[in-house]
Amino acid sequence: MQGSDKEPGKCDINDEIHSAENIRFVLHDSQGFEPGETENFNKVKNFIQQRAQMPEIKDQLHAIWLCVKIPEAGGRLIEVGDEEFLKLDLGDVPVIVVFTQYDRLYNYTRYQMGSAKLGSLDEKQRKVLVEEETEKYFKAECVDRLNRLSHRPRKLEWVKVSKNNDYQHTVVDLVQTTYKLVRNHVAESVWVASATAQRVDVDLNVENSIRVGYWRGLASSTHFPGNLLRDCLGIIHKDIVKIWNFLDPDKILEDNVVKAMILELVQDLADPDASNPNSGFSEKLTTIKASLDVATPLSGPIAPVIAGIGLSVMFVNWLFGVYTNTPGTLRSLMGYIVDLTIVLETLFWFKAAQKKNPAVSSDDIEAAFSSYNSSEERVKVHREIRSYVDNMSLLDHAHPDNAHEEVQRLIKAHRRDLIGATKPSGSSSR
C-alpha cells in the first residue's frame, strides 16, 4: 500500500492510501481513538459526514472496517472511543467489526489445553479440537458480546482475520462480507464500483461482468443505433476489461490484438449459413488486427484499404457495417461477451499462480486465449448461442432481458469446466 509521507505510526484520515496493484482500492486510516482524546474522534466524525455529501461515487464511503484486537479472557471487548464511534449516525454505510489476530487466540487456546487434553491425539485431531475450543471462546467473548451492545449501526457485521498463512481464507471472508453489505445496502452504481475495486474473489468479477448495463439490451439495438459493429464491440470490450482490473500498465488488454483474438473466436457466429462453430468466416488474427488498426470509419477511400488487407467482403461488411438488429449481430454480441469473460477468467487464474509476476504480459494473454480456443467448451458455447438465437420467437425479441439471461446462463454453465485445471494449487470455487 502507498500512503502519505507522514512519519511512521501517524495517519490522517483525509489522506488516501492506494494499492500499487489495484489503483481503484482506496483506504483511509483513522489511526484509532485513544482514551480521553477527542480531536481525532471529531475529525473522523466530520470526515464521514463530509463524504456522505460527496456527489461523486468515488469520493463516498462504501464501507467502514473497525479493527478490534480479540480480547484476552475478561478483557474489554471494545475501547471507549470505538464504542462511541459505533453510536454515531453512520447512515447506510455498512460497518464491519474486524477482529484481528485470530491466530494468536488459536495458539493461546492450544497452550491452555496442554498435553492433558491433547497428548493422546494425533496432529490432525489436535487441530480440530483446538479449533473447536477457539471458536467457542471467540463466539462467547466477541460475537455474543458484540450483539449485546445497546448502540449499534444500522448495518453491522463482523469478521475474524489473521495475516498468518494458515488463515489466508479469512481475508477472502472479509472481502466477501464487505461486498455483500455494499451490494445489498448501497446504490447499484456503488455496488458496481465495489466489485470493480476488488480482485480477491474471481466469482465477484464474473458476476459483475454479467451485470454490465449494455448487455440488458442485447436483443435490441437500444444502445448502439447508427454505430459500426466494430465500435459497439469495442465499447463492450472496454467495459468488461475494466471490471477485471488486472495490473496492466501497458494497457495490453485494451490493444487491438486482444480484440482481434476475440473477433477471431466469434466470427463463425456472424455467418447465417454456418451451421456449427467450426465453419463460417475464417479470417486470420493478423489480418483482423490490421483492419482494427485502421481507425477511420469505413467510408470513401478507406474501404479499399481494408479490403486490401486481405479480408473477405463478407467479413468487412459484418465488422465494419452499421449495427443492425439481426440474428447474426445478436449471436456476435453474445459470443463476444461470453468468450471474452471466460478468457479473462482463465487469465485471472494464470496470474493467480504467478505471485511474483502480477502484471499481465502478452504471453499470459496468448496462453489464456489458446486454452479457451482449443477447448470443447468454446464449441459448446457457440453451438448453444446459435441454437438460442435461431430459435428465438417474437416474444423473445419483445423482452431484451432474455438474451442477457442466456448470456448469464452460458457463462455460469461453461466457465467451471474450462478453468478447473488452470487454478493454482490450493484454490477453490464456490
Amino acid making up residue 160 = K
What is the per-residue pLDDT across 268-279, written as a single tens digit (0 to 9) for each? 887 655 444 444
Give the pLDDT confidence score for residue 150 in this predicted structure: 83
Q: What is the pLDDT of residue 226?
A: 66
Q: What are 381-391's pLDDT values in tens digits?
A: 999 999 998 88
Residue at grid coordinates 468487412 = 316
DSSP string, 162-218: --SGGGTHHHHHHHHHHHHHHHHHS-HHHHHHHHHH--S-HHHHHHHHHT-GGGGGT
| Each residue's pLDDT tens digit, 83-126 | 888 888 888 788 999 999 999 999 999 888 888 888 888 888 88
Locate the domains of the chain by residue range.
17-200, 212-419
Q: Which of 91-95, 145-149, 250-254, 323-327 has the lowest mean pLDDT?
A: 323-327
Mean pLDDT of 240-254: 91
- C-alpha span between 234 and 259 (Å, rounded): 8
**Strands of the 64-69 sheet, one edge to the other:** 64-69, 95-100, 156-160
Place of cell 446504490: 187
Confidence of residue 422 (pLDDT cuts 50, 70, 90): very low
Q: For position 178, what pLDDT does the model report?
A: 87
Residue pair 287/305 in contact by the 8 Å Cβ criterion: no
20 pLDDT tier (thresholds 50, 70, 90)? confident
pLDDT digits (tens, 9 = 90+) for 150-191: 888 888 999 999 988 888 889 889 988 888 887 765 555 565
Q: Is the dihedral of CA 98, 100, 103, 108 positive or negative?
A: negative
pTM of the model: 0.57
147-151, 185-189, 204-208: segment of lowest average pLDDT? 185-189
